[in-house]
Structure 1
């Protein structure tokens, strides 16, 4: 029997309208739907063979799909927005994630106009492939503790990139192991024997002719990761430098410049802009959380409607699992969270775009708030999503443990989000520091934006709960929407 069809007939809301609400607009829905069908109907993008593939074949399979997707983008003359949705639905962790998601934004945010004119056309046409090399074997969240050095040589007008210790090895960057030709490398700037903070540098890693590593560069894949498939489709890599020289103009110099004479020149742009790329990436991570959780909830909901256990009377059918209150109390809050994360990600995108426009106009007052919001929501949504996917696996009983259910690989693909781009506990501590600072300034500085409520703290402390019934209400509040899901 088609139990799902029966369940859909019981819907008391407009499903088509809900699709548009999820997408954001009718235009966005039509665009995403068109790209989804394009991918679903192309046999090159099938996933059924992935559980049987070894590591090497997984990587080759991902490259084949990425190359085919890029060919479609060119042949069909897809717009930038269409290309974004196409890459999303291909749904393979691949080098292009870091190329488009971090390498290009780093240059856009931290490069001078001259540097952007030189590097961005090459990157956007995929004539060079880039990655983002910040994390090291010994340091991740502690950016100021990075050990890779970039020492300026005034005689040759070059920086000397060097990995002085084993722990200074760049470790984890996606696309680094086998594929990237270039990287934005973060290193300690040394000028005149003095340390001048951590800065980004564009470094060519491999020959554009035969793809071999350039002299002085050791680069390779770091090996298997957790799970079947998952991030084993990506060539996360290790990178070491042995006194590699690069031209002075390959230091990203929108924030700070180094002259030929070895002088440090600061621009009006604050140093926080160096972390602007991380703010952008964390904003996309929140959006990805809603997608990952919605997939898990979709699988668990459909399973719960089809699966029947106990409750049979007089030889009749057993009870659908979804009708049990215990199943609902575990599943429905996750459904609510998926929608909430989707809506708050749209708000976060608008916040980031506002900050980006302000940065372009050299107005930086909202950058600390944007950092706190993206850090806090990245931590909250990724933790909840990782736990939610695992809960969905349990809600599917033993069948949820099968690779064919889709949940094991979804979990393995997703859980690194709790660590990359900032460990979740560390990020929460950063948010706490921002909030404590805001509270300490209440007497002489009016809180604005997401902290405006603190200005009403005295009256808020006097409020009592107005709840009159025993209904369980889940309320997720953002500045732009409220979501109520009532479990009756």
Structure 2
């Protein structure tokens, strides 16, 4: 029994539950309607059914999550991953429902990379024979895999990895070998303790020729007793800043032999005996898994930033601090402190984060649609979408994960001292989210891929225009469209003459497009005419990737509200059934996202020539008016529409009912240090100073 007991007293008036009820009464739209717009009815119905299962499964209990050490957390995560697989088999969950259940349980686990990277790689790069041999057992969890690409000395530079896979024609095998310390596989999720197989990226060498990195399916642990196989050395790399429920591991090989079928050969292969290398029909065919993961990370960004915004916004609505002398609030004729959410600075910190979360929601849907469309096209030999999807997924992964990590931290800080407590749910959310900015491509390195695509597209567009061979059908994607608009009128000026005119989405998109195209044109000129080196332009290249991806986010937000987004199944866009109130509320968020993005970094918009200094002042005026009069009354409704159950948030201060202080103090009673009144170690480390003879305390009490 806990030695700590808080007094049975209510918080001072007004109660948090009453304050949130008042906030919800001001909402100008149906929260359920917005939730349906974001997720669809089926998703919300599944969530209700899943929560009934999840909250009754002991393996998913979160009550002690914040008190466990790493060893305990990993053991609990292993139990959790086992339980979710068994439940999925029992209830025959589809892959989408399984992913939804994982998101609700919300804890990384040792099987995460098995589902997230190992199986998708097998599915996209394996032959029919390899799918039978490896993928189908993996789907039944008879094989548990990981994706071993990153090495101790190489991460983002995949072409620089050092692990070798040399073909041995005499035995029709590959010899996997780690030639240097820097070639040790490192950071591999699930490798440390759980996986018995790995997709290993290694340099394919045959007949003395190096064909670069290829994927091999490699057994690494015994299927009998899970011990490492001879020639394989592996283990866990130790504690990290976050993600400590996943066993990120290291591995190296000592001339380890695997059969030829280990080479994933859907696109490239080796002829048995001769060792002749058969090239893939397109060098970028293996990009499919990479694009899928990066597109998925945009979706993960929306989840992370939306959870943080929900906690911070609800808490800011019930947390009261200071009295606004210009507009004091009263309760029963008594002046009371002002809810933090009423302060304009708090609104400026939080409301753009809410808007960004909605922008991410819409863009993640579009990225997954494009991914599936591209995979379908490539299967029929059409690679026309690949370059654009790859470039956009790279830049968007970089931008959205950077914004999400910064947004989560801003939300944590916006909760003041209580945001520093693990019980808020924000520190662990931040720790487990932060790796997203580095894995699957460092966020600064990735932008070079986006830049290369933009520069190539610009050069080709200019060449077609100069030759008179450009027609409307060739400007067939948003990137070429904004570049072409810029080339038609590089001196285009913003027509806005008042703050209100910046609510016009056409002006917003023109600003983003003109700025991005202007940056592309400047960099191409610097590279091609001034002969600047690529290295000297890296900062500019990063900036142009950000500009391009901000254009994509703004455009998807605007088109998504209008109901002009293509649907993956050819169905009706959910935006078309939005009521006017819901559509207007979403338009307010879209306006805030676009205007705030411009206002926060006006330099490039000004130097592009589209905006003038007076426009920046207008934008500031429009933003403050929008936040105070339109966003503020709907703020709690906007985060409620994310439809996160309290179980998922696991936050003392961000729960739906607003009982922040009651939950906070209740969580404190479960702190292991509070299970005894006198701390272990008192006798050895405190008593020798404060009560060396065992009498001083009694003497002092007698004097008092």
Residue 591 of structure 2: which of 480, 484, 488 is its match?
484
Whether contact under 8 Å (2:59, 2:76) holds in the other structure is: no
2:24 is the counterpart of 1:8: yes
After alignment, is 421-430 or 81-90 more displaced? 81-90
Higher strand fraction: Structure 1 or Structure 2?
1
- For 1:394, the equivalent position in structure 2 comes to 413
Secondary structure of residue in 2 paired with 1:7: helix
Query: Structure 1 374/37 Cα, relative in aligned 2: closer, same or farther at 3 Å?
Result: farther
Q: CA deviation at 1:37?
A: 4.1
Q: CA deviation at 1:460?
A: 5.2
Q: Which runs of structure 2 are paired with 1:61-100 in the superposition (5 Å)?
A: 61-100=76-115
Measure the CA separation in 2 of the matches of 1:134 and 1:275: 14
Secondary structure of residue in 1 paired with 2:146: strand
- For 1:455, the equivalent position in structure 2 comes to 484
Query: Structure 1 310/104 Cα, relative in aligned 2: closer, same or farther at 3 Å?
Result: same
- For 2:611, the equivalent position in structure 1 comes to none
Measure the CA separation in 1 of the matches of 2:163 and 2:410: 41
Secondary structure of residue in 1 paired with 2:223: coil
Aligned length: 483
Query: Structure 1 240/447 Cα, relative in aligned 2: closer, same or farther at 3 Å?
Result: farther
- For 1:287, the equivalent position in structure 2 comes to 299
Runs (5+) with no aligned partner, structure 1:
none
After alignment, is 477-486 or 165-174 more displaced? 477-486
After superposition, give the CA deviation of every residue in 1:130-165 in whole Å (9 maximum; x if it has no partner): 110000000011111000000011111000000000
Q: CA deviation at 1:271?
A: 1.8
Measure the CA separation in 1 of the matches of 2:116 and 2:498: 47
Q: CA deviation at 1:462?
A: 4.4
Secondary structure of residue in 1 paired with 2:200: strand
After superposition, give the CA deviation of every residue in 1:418-472 in whole Å (9 maximum; x if it has no partner): 0000001111121111101111111237443232312222345343323343368
Query: Structure 1 49/144 Cα, relative in aligned 2: closer, same or farther at 3 Å?
Result: same
After alignment, is 96-105 or 458-467 more displaced? 458-467
Q: Which runs of structure 2 are paired with 1:25-40 in the superposition (5 Å)?
A: 25-40=40-55
After alignment, is 235-244 or 310-319 more displaced? 310-319
After alignment, is 161-170 or 76-85 more displaced? 76-85
Measure the CA separation in 2 of the matches of 1:131 and 1:32: 28
Under a length normalisation based on structure 2, what TM-score does the superposition of the two structures give?
0.67
After alignment, is 248-257 or 466-475 more displaced? 466-475
After superposition, give the CA deviation of every residue in 1:8-53 in whole Å (9 maximum; x if it has no partner): 1111111110110111x22222223332443234343122312221
Q: CA deviation at 1:249?
A: 1.3
Q: CA deviation at 1:74?
A: 1.7
Q: CA deviation at 1:288?
A: 0.5
Whether contact under 8 Å (2:409, 2:430) holds in the other structure is: yes
Q: Which runs of structure 2 are paired with 1:216-365 in the superposition (5 Å)?
A: 216-226=231-241, 230-260=242-272, 261-268=274-281, 270-311=282-323, 315-365=334-384
Secondary structure of residue in 1 paired with 2:293: helix
Measure the CA separation in 2 of the matches of 1:267 and 1:324: 59
After superposition, give the CA deviation of every residue in 1:286-345 in whole Å (9 maximum; x if it has no partner): 001000000000010011001001116574211110011111011100000000001100
Higher helix fraction: Structure 1 or Structure 2?
2
2:451 is the counterpart of 1:432: yes
Q: Give the RMSD, CA atoms, in angstroms.
A: 1.7
Q: CA deviation at 1:395?
A: 0.5
With CA pairs under 8 Å and 6+ residues apart, which has the higher RCO, 1 or 2? 2
Measure the CA separation in 1 of the matches of 2:452 and 2:93: 44
Whether contact under 8 Å (2:232, 2:254) holds in the other structure is: yes
Q: CA deviation at 1:398?
A: 0.8
Under a length normalisation based on structure 1, what TM-score does the superposition of the two structures give?
0.95
Residue 172 of structure 1: which of 164, 187, 191 is its match?
187
Whether contact under 8 Å (2:110, 2:245) holds in the other structure is: no
Query: Structure 1 70/255 Cα, relative in aligned 2: closer, same or farther at 3 Å?
Result: same
Secondary structure of residue in 1 paired with 2:217: strand
Whether contact under 8 Å (1:199, 1:274) holds in the other structure is: no
Measure the CA separation in 2 of the matches of 1:26 and 1:109: 30
Measure the CA separation in 2 of the matches of 1:42 and 1:93: 17
Runs (5+) with no aligned partner, structure 2:
1-14, 465-469, 509-553, 562-589, 593-625, 629-704
Q: CA deviation at 1:254?
A: 1.5
Measure the CA separation in 1 of the matches of 2:226 and 2:56: 34
